[in-house]
Amino acid sequence: MLTVTWLVIALPLLGFVVLVATGRRLGEPWAGWLATAMVSASFLVAIGLYLDLLGIKAPVRSYSENLWTWLDVGGLNLHAGLYVDPLSMTMVLFVTGVSALIHLYSIGYMHGDKDFAKFFLYLNLFVASMLILVLGSNMVMTFIGWEGVGTCSYWLVSFWFERNTAAVAGKKAFLYNRLGDVGFMLAMFLTFENFHSLDYSTIFARVDSVSSLNITVICLLLVVAVMGKSAQIPLFPWLADAMEGPTPVSALIHAATMVTAGVYLLCRVHPLLHASPTASLVVAIMGAVTAFVGATIACAQQDIKKVLAYSTISQLGYMFLAIGCGAYTAAIFLMVAHAFFKALLFLGSGSVIHGLHGEQDLKRMGNLRQYMPITFITFAIGWLAIAAVPPLSGFWAKGDILDNAFAARPVLWGIGVFTAALTAYYMSRLTSLAFFGSDRWGQKHPVDPDPWAHHAEVGEQRAPVESPLVMTLPLWILAFFAATAGLLATSGNFSLSAWVDPVFGSSLFSNHLPAGDLWVLGLLDTVVALGGVALGIWLWVSRTDRPALEIPFLRNAWYVNEAYDTLLGRPSTRLAHFSAEEVDLKVIDGAVNSLAGLVRGAGRIVAKTQTGYLRNYALAMVGGVVLILAFMVTRMWWG
């Protein structure tokens, strides 16, 4: 079957190429419109493919397509192949759809930036990479996309490189992602060793012939990859720092699409996870704990984007909880719903930041509903959706996950419910601080100076203004979907589960709870959500300062960054001090924050041995000779 599937990827890629060639000449705003048009066209093609796919009967509703053979050597044959099934189709639809909206929004948001064209060039490349990741028919294709989105994320996070924090944050994101990538690569090689193929379909067909221990190892390595990409414990600190990127980037990459790549990957390889209860348990625990930790941290942040970042980490945790419980469809459901409401919230916060001329501190906002009514209404929909207030999408998606967790792993269900209350609470806190209360954006000094938050130069305060139509239109559209995505759960034959379930075949645990239980659980969710919302509003609508609820432990993200610094950073500082005098302070400052410092320090020490003196080199050589000879002697006696 010859299709135009490749066009979905080719269009944004074409946009990228055209922008590379002519972006600077096109300039503002045409570069942005071009990029938006490309992604929109890709979305239209995706809709066409979707209708096509609907025409195929359910059990075999998938096809794959080999664009060309990459190599065929010694049993390894790699194709640049695409695999289309309801799972990848769902991803393609919402990736292209949400991307198109965010592209549109960016035209307004990036207005006046000197690197306007460059921004859209990166965005288009990102979308193309993400689609390769999603559509790849083998692990190598997925990996290529995986690397591609990571690299684009690195470029986009450090887009405003003049801020040192942005440059450092970009590097941090890159580093954590690379740690995860090592896991992916190793998983890939082990897969080939055990399954003699990297094609998903072949791998799944051979699951029974591989020992469960090997499958568990492969799954755990993939989980490492996922930890990096989807910011799960313990590799989550980068996501909060990644908020240094422009807000549309946070919405697109660090909320809706890239970070959910991990969820997609684990769903894609569900037959492997299915065969390894151990790995499933690990995923479930990782998800539940991350959901909880992320939510607690979000309760104490005062940078509006950091709250949303930790909230994203927490919501991703829910998705992994679902996967760990075998409820893949539920995970996909939340992923789609989350893409809508979190993108909405980020874009809303971007609108706020835009309206306040760069202010990100919640405590210096307040009463914005008077000044930015559209932003407020749409943001409020997102807020109630993520808080899981019925009948908005979050209620259905989160409810689905919690029901499954209740059936499969009751303890984790408890954590999940508590986290749901926290979610409702911190989002209400955010909304109250930003949109209710008194005007605080004119104040000279922040209420509570937070050394961790980044303050843009605000300068002379002007009254906040509503954003232009290119920015509010995407808000409306996203708000519509955030509100109504719940229909995906309730619309019988057209529901998401009817569509995606055939991909997953069976689930680890059956979710055949009696209808009565479902009602009770749903009621409980509602009570928890409304309680959290009420608490959040009651506590924060009139006061901005409650130190008892913003303890430093949470404000500093459980001191995870500090722990990493102590474990990795301090030795690297010492290493750097070792070659102290000629190394300027800046190196040390920049280095302490990450593993990169350790590597750099080691590099400097090794470089020290490179003295430039001939006899030192000769000495090293002779040393090598002696060592090798010594080794040979051991072979002689014990070999």
Partner 1 sequence: MTHLAATASTIHLPHVNYVSILPILIMMGGALLLLLLSSLLRRIISTGVCTAITVMTSAAAAVAAIVQWDQVLANGAQTTIAGAVAYDGFSVLIQLLVPLALGLTALVADGYLKREGVVGGEFQVLAMASASGAMVMGAANDLIVVFLGLEILSIALYVLAAFNHRRAESGEAALKYFVLGSVSSAIFLYGIALMYGATGSTNLAKMAEFLARRAVLSNGLLLAAMALLLVGFAFKVSAVPFHMWSPDVYQGSPSPVSGFMASVAKAGAFAALLRVFVSSLATQRLGWQPVIWVLAALSLLVGAIVALNQQDVKRMLAYSSINHAGFILLGVDAADARGISSALYYLVTYTIMVIGTFAVVTVIAGRQDRATGLLEFRGLARRQPVLALALAILLLGQAGAPFTTGFLAKFNVIEAVVLTHGYTLAVIAMVSAAVAAFFYLRVALTMFSPVGEFGDGPDDDVPLDPAALVGAATPGAASGVTTVPPRAWSAAMPGIDELADAPPSEVVEARGKVPVPPATWVVIGFCALFTVVFGIYPAPLVDFAQHATLLFI
Partner 2 sequence: MTVGADWYLGLAAVVFALGLLGVLVRRQTLVMIMCVELMLNAANLTFATFARSLTDIGGQVLVFFVLVVASAEAVVGLGIAITIFRHKADVNADSLDRMKG
Total binding residues for partner 2 by CB under 8 A? 10
Q: Which residues contact 325 (CB under 8 A, 6 or more apart)?
A: 280, 284, 401, 404, 405, 407, 408, 409, 412, 508, 509
Q: Which of 135, 358, 129 is nearest to 253 (CA)?
A: 129
Which residue is it, tokens 């941090």?
172
3-state secondary structure of 524: helix
DSSP string, 438-451: ---TT-SS-SS--T
Of 598-637, binders to partner 1 (CB under 8 A) are 599-600, 602-604, 606-607, 609-610, 612, 614, 616-618, 620-621, 623-625, 628-629, 631-633, 635-637
- Indicate if the alpha-carbon torsion angle 195, 201, 202, 207 is positive or negative: positive
- Asked if 464 and 363 count as a contact pair (C-beta separation under 8 A), the reply is no
Other C-beta atoms within 10 Å of 455: how many? 14
Rounded distance between C-alpha atoms, residue 255 and residue 94, angstroms: 13
Q: Binding string to partner 1 for residues 115 to 144, with x set by CB under 8 A, is what?
A: -------------------------x--xx
Which of 161, 211, 255, 371 is close enough to bind partner 1 by CB under 8 A? 161
563 binds, among partner 2, partner 1, none (CB under 5 to 8 A by kind): none
Q: Kindly write out the interface string for residues 555-594 of this chain, putting x where it contacts partner 1 by CB under 8 A and - elsewhere.
A: ---------------------------x-xxxx-xxx---
Q: Which is nearer to partner 1, 51 or 606 (CB)?
A: 606
Least Å from the CB of residue 126 to partner 1: 15
> What span, in angstroms and rounded, lies between the C-alpha atoms of 227 and 86?
25
Give the nearer residue to partner 2 in terms of CB position, either 613 or 637.
613
Token pair of 196 as six digits: 């003699």
The distance of closest approach from Cβ of residue 618 to partner 2 in the complex, given in angstroms and rounded to an integer, is: 5
Please choose which of partner 2, partner 1, none residue 241 contacts, taking the beta carbon within 5 to 8 angstroms, the exact cut-off set by kind.
none
Which of these segments, 46-54, 299-307, 544-552, 616-624, binds partner 2 (CB under 8 A)?
Answer: 616-624
Choose, by CB under 8 A, the member of 1, 614, 629, 630 that binds partner 2. 614
Binding residue (CB under 8 A) for partner 1 from 148, 248, 317, 416: 148
Give SS3 for 580: coil
Select from 52-60, 172-180, 375-383, 565-573 the region that touches partner 1 (CB under 8 A). 172-180
Is residue 536 within 8 Å of residue 427, measured between CB atoms?
A: yes
Residue type, 284: A
Closest CA relative to residue 18, chosen from 95, 121, 93: 121
Nearer to partner 1, 182 or 549 (CB): 182
Considering only 65-73, 260-268, 590-598, 614-622, which stretch makes contact with partner 2 by CB under 8 A? 614-622
CA distance 172 to 183: 17
**If binding is defined by CB under 8 A, does position 633 make contact with partner 2?**
no
Contact code string over 574-613 relative to partner 2, x by CB under 8 A? ---------------------------------x--xxxx
Q: Give the DSSP H or E segment for 481.
A: helix 469-484
Instruction: Write down how long the chain is.
Output: 639
Under a CB-based contact definition with an 8 Å cutoff, are residues 252 and 99 in contact? yes
Instruction: Give how far Cα 620 sits from Cα of 48, 448, 604, Å.
Output: 65, 57, 18
H helices present in 196-276, as ranges: 200-205, 212-229, 237-241, 247-251, 261-268, 270-274
Q: Do 423 and 525 meet the contact criterion of CB atoms below 8 Å apart?
A: no
- Nearest approach in angstroms of CB 625 to partner 2 is 8
Q: Which is nearer to partner 1, 194 or 201 (CB)?
A: 194
Q: In the window 225-264, what residues touch partner 1 (CB under 8 A)?
A: none
Burial class (CB in 10 A: 0-12, 13-18, 19+), 586: exposed
Task: Tell me the per-residue interface mask from 367 to 406 with partner 1, x by CB under 8 A, - otherwise.
Answer: ----------------------------------------
Partner from partner 2, partner 1, none contacting 140, C-beta within 5 to 8 A by type: partner 1
Give the nearest distance from C-beta 393 to partner 1 in angstroms: 35
Q: Which C-beta is closer to partner 2: that of 518 or that of 599?
A: 599
Closest approach, Cβ 581 to partner 2, in A, equals: 15
CA quadruple 77, 81, 86, 89: dihedral, nearest 10: 150
Backbone angles phi, psi at 336, to 5 degrees: -65, -50
Give the binding site for partner 2 (CB under 8 A). 607, 610-615, 618-619, 622
Give the binding site for partner 1 (CB under 8 A). 20, 68-74, 76, 140, 143-144, 147-148, 151, 158, 161-162, 164, 167-168, 171, 174, 178-179, 181-182, 185-186, 189-190, 192-193, 582, 584-587, 589-591, 596, 599-600, 602-604, 606-607, 609-610, 612, 614, 616-618, 620-621, 623-625, 628-629, 631-633, 635-637, 639
